[in-house]
Amino acid sequence: MRYIVFNSKGGVGKSSIVCNLAAVSAAEGKRTLVVDLDPQANATHYLLGSRGPEAKPNLTDFFEETLSLRLLTSDADTWVHPTPFENLSIVPSDLGMAELQPKLESRYKIYKLRKLLERLEEFHVVFLDTPPALNFFTTSALIAADGCLIPFDCDEFSRRALIQLLEEVEEIREDHNPQLEVRGIVVNLFQLRARLPQQMVDQLLDENLPILEPYITASVKMRESHDAHRPLVDLAPSHKLSQQVRDLYATLERPRLAAVS
């Protein structure tokens, strides 16, 4: 299964959700891959720390190879790097990806990522982190994914953008990837004692939008996890936030009664 975590709004916790769900998957014994499609490389930094810039070749190098006149010759595993966590690997990124974007768009390379992931058959689960924009890299990830997770940070701007996001995913599904489905909206940075976040979530439920449970609550422990470059289930396995991520992953693993599109 390949999951894309996508929202065109920044600061909603995409990289945190990607890395922590992937860490749970790996901890359960599944060979798991994170693909960092954001030139800011937050997922790369989260999982590799100071080793991130040294992890070469990376996704920038992969896309550079797709622009060459020859066919892709490198083994698919060339771009994959181990993390310090068992069963968890990453295809890292760096700022060089941003410079390549105009060339990749003009040469219509949006299917290359899917072809790469099809060659990486040894991974049971893949999580794709994306930049806060519907650009070449996000479109490539949507074309490569099976399921889409949309983080929602209980912000009014995020609520207004949700319908447009769902429409954009549906357009990709119809035009490029009929297997793609919205697996749900991940409520992130939820404040249990505040009234407004619950009101916003209730509005989404009233609109029959696919809200996943449990909600991921706001906690300083997530920031500590970032600083330590250790996902929550490794840093603080008994913390309530770690259990929420485990339960969210279990929700994703349950069979769907019907696809949401």
Band of residue 155 on the pLDDT scale cut at 50, 70, 90: confident
At residue 204, what are phi and psi to the nearest 5 degrees? -65, -40
Band of residue 158 on the pLDDT scale cut at 50, 70, 90: confident
Summarize pLDDT for 123-153 with one digit per residue, the tens.
999 999 999 999 999 999 999 999 999 999 9
pTM over 0.85: yes
At residue 105, what are phi and psi to the nearest 5 degrees? -65, -45
Summarize pLDDT for 104-124 with one digit per residue, the tens.
999 999 999 999 999 999 999
Summarize pLDDT for 203-215 with one digit per residue, the tens.
999 999 999 999 9
6 near 169, Cβ under 8 Å?
yes
Which residue has tokens 């014994």?
Answer: 29
pLDDT value of residue 156: 83
Model confidence at 258: pLDDT above 70? no
Q: Which amino acid is at 1?
A: M
Mean pLDDT, all residues of the chain = 93
Average pLDDT over residues 184-213: 92
Residue 5, both tokens: 């975590």
Average pLDDT over residues 20-31: 98
Band of residue 31 on the pLDDT scale cut at 50, 70, 90: very high
Summarize pLDDT for 80-101 with one digit per residue, the tens.
999 999 999 999 999 999 999 9
147: closest CA among 186, 92, 201, 108?
A: 186
pLDDT value of residue 71: 60
Domains in the chain, start-ordered, CATH in brackets? 2-253 (3.40.50.300)
Q: In angstroms, what is the C-alpha Rg of the chain?
A: 18
pLDDT value of residue 69: 64
Q: Supply the DSSP symbol for 54.
A: G
